[in-house]
Amino acid sequence: MQRRYRLLQFLADGRFHSGEELGHLLGVGRAAVWKLMQSLEPLGLDVYAVRGKGYRLAEPLELLNEEQLLAELDPLAATLLHQLEVVPEIDSTNRYLIERARSGTASANACFAEYQSAGRGRQGRPWISPFGTNVYVSVLRRFDVGAEALQGLSLAAGVAVARALSSLGVSELKLKWPNDLVWRERKLGGLLVETAGEPAGPWHVVVGVGLNLSLPEASARLIDQPWVDLKTVAPGQIGRNRVAGRLLLHLLTGLEEFSRHGFAAFRQEWERYDLVRDRLVSVSGVGSVTHGRACGVDHTGALLLSVAGQIRRVLSGDVSLRVAV
Ligand code: BTN
């Protein structure tokens, strides 16, 4: 990735660069530049090559910068972070941090990636993670409690992300149980929470957030559900480092709040963001689909579903809205 990353640093301005100029900057010949340009394809970026002009990206990129990210943290958040890593490329930031937690080499870490080659979504789905355009971050935190005390954590993390976006002026954001960030019924991002530990604790929790900022066409084609990106939602152009830093701030402080007060501190706020409340939904679990009316969440974060006059607690599954007939 190193050479590819340097090439992308030059191309990030979105202007044309000739093969000769790039070769000179990278210390390689024009044929090697051409090869490197080919290697950008799997990164999911839209790249143009025009005879006589050279190469350029369809859109300029704001690459992640550690200093700018950290500038968004307040003093409390700064004390809650032991190590921040910003990597050009990784398979999955969640996989990376959960493995570090298991091997005992990390406990209060955050990892951002410019690109994920095997980004993980919920229910074993892939998370499309093109280079340098969206935000992919995982935050690891240790909780010295048993598994029960962690109920509702993933919903609390969703509220933390909603707070971050609302602090940047994003309105009309909704949360679709359990972990989708939705704007006007289209998916803006999602959270994946993974844990490692023993039933009695301690637990290591990794909260991973993927947020679409500006989806290149080549990547958007791979997404099989209605999606939206932040540039559409908040056309005033919010800097990528600002969004990333704000997410980190609210994830760190949100997890701290959760460790002190549990989901109770987030429940009312979650319900204000609840996309499906009072609507007819279908919940698909393993091998079954349940239809009912969504009635909010209980104190553990379970979805309450009214089915034939009875309230059922749903602990996991995929929720889809049903078309009214
Ligand atoms: C979803 O399916 O809605 C959850 C998507 C979570 C994606 C993020 S991107 C950063 C972190 N690393 C991963 O591999 N997945 C999460």
CATH number assigned to the domain comprising residue 285: 2.30.30.100
Are 77 and 100 members of one domain? yes
Considering 4, 141, 163, 187, which one is annotated as catalytic?
A: 187
Q: Report d(CA 136, CA 240) in Å as an integer.
A: 11
Residue 127 Cα, ligand 1 centroid: separation in angstroms? 6
Q: 186 pLDDT band (50/70/90 cuts)?
A: very high
Q: What's the number of domains the chain is made of?
A: 3
Are 141 and 50 members of one domain? no
Domain with 36, as residue range(s), is 2-57
Is-contact 181 160, C-beta < 8 A?
Answer: no
Are 100 and 22 members of one domain? no
- Closest-CA residue, ligand 1 atom 2, reads 121
Catalytic residue at 187? yes
Q: Report d(CA 279, CA 324) in Å as an integer.
A: 9
Are 37 and 70 members of one domain? no
> What Cα–Cα distance (Å) separates residue 1 from each residue in 23, 223, 245?
16, 25, 24
Catalytic residue at 95? no
- Closest-CA residue, ligand 1 atom 15, reads 120
Are 95 and 229 members of one domain? yes
Q: 323 pLDDT band (50/70/90 cuts)?
A: low
243 lines ligand 1 (CB under 6 A): no
Q: Report d(CA 41, CA 146) in Å as an integer.
A: 45
- Give residue for tokens 């340097």: 6
Q: What is the arithmetic mean of pLDDT over 32-53?
A: 90
Is-contact 129 215, C-beta < 8 A?
Answer: no
What is the pairing mode between strands 135-143 and 203-211? antiparallel
20: CATH: 1.10.10.10
Query: Of 135-149, 276-290, 299-313, which range is least confident?
Result: 276-290
Are 24 and 164 members of one domain? no
SS3 of the chain: helix, strand, coil, percent, to 5: 35, 30, 35
Q: Is the pLDDT of residue 1 over 70?
A: no
Q: Is the pLDDT of residue 201 over 80?
A: no
154 lines ligand 1 (CB under 6 A): no
122 lines ligand 1 (CB under 6 A): yes
The crossing angle, in degrees rounded to 10, of helices 19-26 and 2-11 is: 130
The proportion of the chain whose per-residue pLDDT surpasses 90, expressed as a percent, equals 78
Are 292 and 255 members of one domain? no
Sign of CA dihedral 288, 292, 296, 300: negative
Residue 175 Cα, ligand 1 centroid: separation in angstroms? 15
Q: What is the arithmetic mean of pLDDT over 146-160?
A: 92
155: CATH: 3.30.930.10
> What Cα–Cα distance (Å) separates residue 49 from each residue in 112, 305, 324?
29, 53, 48
pLDDT tens digits along 45-87? 888 999 999 999 999 999 999 999 999 999 999 999 999 999 9
Q: Which helix (H) or strand (E) holds 170?
A: none
Q: Which helix (H) or strand (E) holds 165?
A: helix 153-167
The crossing angle, in degrees rounded to 10, of helices 19-26 and 30-38 is: 100
Q: Report d(CA 130, CA 69) in Å as an integer.
A: 20
208 lines ligand 1 (CB under 6 A): yes
Q: Report d(CA 196, CA 99) in Å as an integer.
A: 9
Q: Is the pLDDT of residue 278 over 80?
A: yes
pTM over 0.75: yes
94 lines ligand 1 (CB under 6 A): yes
Are 164 and 286 members of one domain? no
Mean pLDDT of the chain: 93
pLDDT of residue 53: 92
91 lines ligand 1 (CB under 6 A): no
Cβ neighbourhood burial of 63 (10 Å; 0-12, 13-18, 19+): middle
Hey, which of 86, 209, 219 would you mutate to test ligand 1's pocket, going by the most ligand atoms within 8 Å of its Cβ? 209
Cα pseudo-dihedral 123, 64, 273, 187, rounded to 10: -50
Q: Report d(CA 11, CA 59) in Å as an integer.
A: 10
